[in-house]
Amino acid sequence: MSSILSVAGVEIRRFLRDKSNIFFVFIFPLLLIMLLGSQFGAGSGQAHVSLAGGSGTALEAKIAGQLAADGLRVTSGRPDAVRAELSRGRTDVGVFISDAAASAFEAGQPADIEVVVSSQSGAQAALAWVRASVQAVATEQRQRAVLENAGVGGDKAAEALKQARESVQLPRIEIIDTGNVSQQFTGLGQFDLGAAQQLLLFVFLSSLTGSATLIQARRLGVIARVMAAPVSSGRVIAGQALGRFGIAVVQGGYIMLGTALLFGVDWGNPLLAGLILAVFSAVAAAAAMVIGSILDNDAAASGIGVGIGLVLAGLGGSMVPPEFFSATLQAVSRATPHRWAYDAFAEIQRHDGGLVDILPQLGVLAAMAAGLLVLGALLLRRSLSRAL
């Protein structure tokens, strides 16, 4: 057993000796997950409203507070800057508060504000939210004016309205999308989907490109020197497989831990998530052994590994969620390990699935790993006698 661990340790050290591997294994995945989550994640669709004018006035504070309470992202700026943002599509709705409107609001009079909508696809929906928020502010102002006209002091009127809001249960409308695709992504955090996809992409891709170290070990005579010692070919093959498995698991575990700490990604049950990662890493390690045993050129192995890794990732849902695939492409994606691992992660992340729920996916991944491992071992045994 010690000889197997020694061979695996050598492979891991040789892989990490290449500084570019450190960047693509540990740094680039987190950067890509952050980019994808900020652009396309669940929270990226939040409506953006920019306020212009009325800085420090009661009207500006009331509208900004109500918009934020209603779940909209609110920023402030100069009128010309807000108009520039609208023209460039960087904000959905612009609300312009004039000095006259601010003064009228403080005097309890009707205040006219200007609302400008951008040409973005979601701007009309944001406009509806802005109208509702402004209407809520106007209603509160009218209620306070009625109380003050009835002889209630300003402070007492404000306190009475506050108590009324706390004691009355307002009607609540909940919109549920019955579409299958929408329901599939219900409850996902902003970075959850992208983290699972990029985990599968990079673990498999790094393993395949790492097959070049196996070719280098054959060319440089590293394997031959190991076998000159009292170490059987079976142990050498097992050590090679374990080394690649260790690289995949370490990278996957790092991505899981890093995204959980930095982006709050919910991976579901950590033990089940680790089990899915381990089985998928076994598939990736076995596939790397196959490529490293068939080819004799390490540069070609890296290029082919990148090509195969990207194609399988695309077909398996690591670039576009497979829920958007056609029926034919859905069937094709089942031939990739990425799709089975994607479904397993989706089960524990979105539906709180248990071990029984992901047993089919784990079984398919285990079968893929066993088949590729046997094939890789046979090819590696034959390649040891082939001149490079």
Q: Say if residue 36 is in the same domain as residue 61.
A: no
The tokens for 336 are 């990739």
The answer to whether residue 238 sits within a structural domain is yes
Q: Say if residue 101 is in the same domain as residue 215.
A: no
Final residue of a domain: which of 181, 202, 226?
181
The answer to whether residue 135 sits within a structural domain is yes
Q: Say if residue 116 is in the same domain as residue 261.
A: no
Task: Give the tens place of pLDDT for each residue, 85-121.
Answer: 888 777 889 999 998 888 888 877 888 889 999 877 6
The answer to whether residue 168 sits within a structural domain is yes
The answer to whether residue 10 sits within a structural domain is yes
Final residue of a domain: which of 181, 216, 237?
181
CATH number of the structural domain spanning residue 93: 3.40.190
Q: Say if residue 202 is in the same domain as residue 120.
A: no
Q: Say if residue 329 is in the same domain as residue 205.
A: yes
CA distance 66 to 155: 20
Q: What integer pLDDT is reported at residue 240 of this predicted model?
A: 72
Q: Say if residue 21 is in the same domain as residue 62.
A: no
Q: What integer pLDDT is reported at residue 18 of this predicted model?
A: 66
Q: What integer pLDDT is reported at residue 206 of this predicted model?
A: 86
Q: What integer pLDDT is reported at residue 43 of this predicted model?
A: 47
Rounded average pLDDT over 355-379 = 92
Q: Say if residue 263 is in the same domain as residue 355.
A: yes
Domain that holds residue 196: 2-41+191-383
Q: What integer pLDDT is reported at residue 334 of this predicted model?
A: 95
Tracing tokens 């992504």 back to the chain, one arrives at: 185
The tokens for 388 are 């490079």
The answer to whether residue 388 sits within a structural domain is no
The tokens for 385 are 């006698």
The answer to whether residue 313 sits within a structural domain is yes
The per-residue pLDDT of the chain, averaged, comes to 80
Q: Say if residue 75 is in the same domain as residue 56.
A: yes
Extended beta strands in 19-113, E state: 48-52, 73-77, 93-96
Q: Say if residue 219 is in the same domain as residue 157.
A: no
Full-model pTM: 0.67
Q: Say if residue 173 is in the same domain as residue 78.
A: yes
Q: What integer pLDDT is reported at residue 189 of this predicted model?
A: 67
> Count of domains in the chain?
2
The answer to whether residue 186 sits within a structural domain is no
Q: Say if residue 335 is in the same domain as residue 350.
A: yes
The answer to whether residue 107 sits within a structural domain is yes
CA distance 216 to 58: 71
